[in-house]
Amino acid sequence: MDEVYSNAEIKSSIITGSGAKAFVAGADITEFGSLSIEEGKTLAKRGQDVFLKIERSPKPAVACVNGFALGGGCELAMACHFRIASDNAKFGQPEVNLGLIPGYGGTQRLVQLIGKGRAIELLISANMIDANTALQYGLVNYVVPQEELLNKAVSILNIVNTKSPLAIAACITAANAVWDESKDGFAEEINAFGNCFGTDDMKEGTTAFLEKRKAVFVGK
């Protein structure tokens, strides 16, 4: 994500698993047995910091969920700006089976994405849901055959990447403010909207519209 943030050549990113079986099947449980309370808190804080960096990225990050997205894998998918699932995908937060809870933001983002009632049921039952249920719940935007998964993400991002990078970043920031109690989302929107008027991209976008041509945005 540091590279995504700093490399101007990168317009967006896709996060997916290797192979057909799993997106991320969860943590290595053998690491947990010897952790103290404070070490557990440190582990959760480190994971949350990484996932917040994904969520707050000014460039869209899309999760292509192929197979199992369990525990931290489900949390990773939820940290992305939206999710596309293959038809064999499975989602779940099974931590209560270990006497634990999600620690990388899962209790918060699951409620945000699918609502409190459904989220708590999944959290306390440790049940998995399939891709079509995830679509019904609003956890994913699309379900596609596995062989079409990356192509679907690329087709969307090819459109997104033609838009103003500054406007995209502002949309992400304003949308994230909905759930940030330290911010007034409407005020964030006002400021971001106003700031757009000081950009070359806005001038190019409006000029191109009036001239009936495609805009060429440069991110300035």
Q: pLDDT digit string (tens) for 85-100?
A: 999 999 999 999 999 9
Most distant CA pair in the chain: distance in Å?
66
- Tokens matching residue 114: 């699918």
Residue 27 has pLDDT above 80, yes or no: no
Dihedral, 1, 151, 68, 138 alpha carbons, nearest 10? 90
Give the Cα separation of 170 and 21 in Å (integer): 36
Short-list 139, 147, 134, 149, CA closest to 64: 149
Residue 172 has pLDDT above 80, yes or no: yes
Q: Domains plus CATH for the chain?
A: 2-159 (3.90.226.10), 163-210 (no CATH)
Give catalytic residue positions. 75, 95
Supply the pTM of this predicted model.
0.93
Short-list 27, 24, 16, CA closest to 61: 16
Q: pLDDT digit string (tens) for 58-91?
A: 999 999 999 999 999 999 999 999 999 999 999 9
**pLDDT at site 71:** 94
Q: pLDDT digit string (tens) for 95-130?
A: 999 999 999 999 999 999 999 999 999 999 999 999
Give the Cα separation of 173 and 188 in Å (integer): 8
**pLDDT at site 180:** 86
